[in-house]
Amino acid sequence: MVIKVFIVDDHYMVIEGIRSLLQNEKDIEWTGHAMNAASCLAFLKQQLPDVILMDINLPDQSGIELCKEVRLIYPSIFVIGLSTFNQQSFIQKMMDNGASGYVLKNATQEELTDAIGTVVKGKTYLSEEASHTLRKEDAAAVVLTRREKEVLALIAEGMTNNEIAKNLFISVTTVETHRKNLLAKLEAKNTASLIRIASQLHLI
């Protein structure tokens, strides 16, 4: 299935940047762009994309309001919020107004394609940064054991599992278990994101 994607953003460089990231994706068809809300609504009267990447900060209308309007008139279209704003209030408002996802403008090609592929299945997609911003207030809810904190600190220092095991006088298998638990608790995909998230939550 080819997914038709449209973008609404008032910065041409952003439009071109995202278009270049998606142009070689065989499952994604670029249907065009609008630089304001009025142009977007005019385009939708002619053609319906599957997914709209929608900037929050538009010159004539807030993307948050436009998202609500588009979802009311065209419920079959999935909207992904696209913004430089990584603030809880913006993300929450966009999602409350019917957006299926939220990514930042510095998103990688992989994040964008993941986001598009996820929302067309009817699921919600939040970029890693957006997800952690929403959870930042729940940082207290991330409860690590004393040993997990010790392992996390040594991971942050760049130690391997073997080095951590020797340092803490535990088995490599135990270190691997702690590492898996840390990735799960902080919802991190890999060690690099684990360290970044832990730092954001002031756990290291």
pLDDT digits (tens, 9 = 90+) for 84-99: 877 777 888 899 999 9
CATH node for 3-136: 3.40.50.2300
Contact 95, 54 (CB under 8 A): no
pLDDT band at residue 138 using 50, 70 and 90 as cut-offs: low
Q: Where in the chain is the domain with CATH 1.10.10.10?
A: 139-200
Phi-psi region of 194 (alpha: psi -120 to 50; beta: other; left: phi over 0): alpha
pLDDT band for 140, please (50, 70, 90 cuts).
Answer: low
Looking at residue 145, its pLDDT comes to 86
Whether pTM > 0.85 for this model: the answer is no
Q: Which of 54, 112, 59, 42 is nearest to 83 (CA)?
A: 54
CATH 3.40.50.2300 residue spans of the chain: 3-136
Judge: domain 139-200, CATH 3.40.630.30.
no
C-alpha 147/C-alpha 95 separation (Å) is 37
pLDDT digits (tens, 9 = 90+) for 28-70: 999 999 999 999 999 999 999 999 999 998 999 999 999 999 9
* Residue written as token pair 């209030």: 89
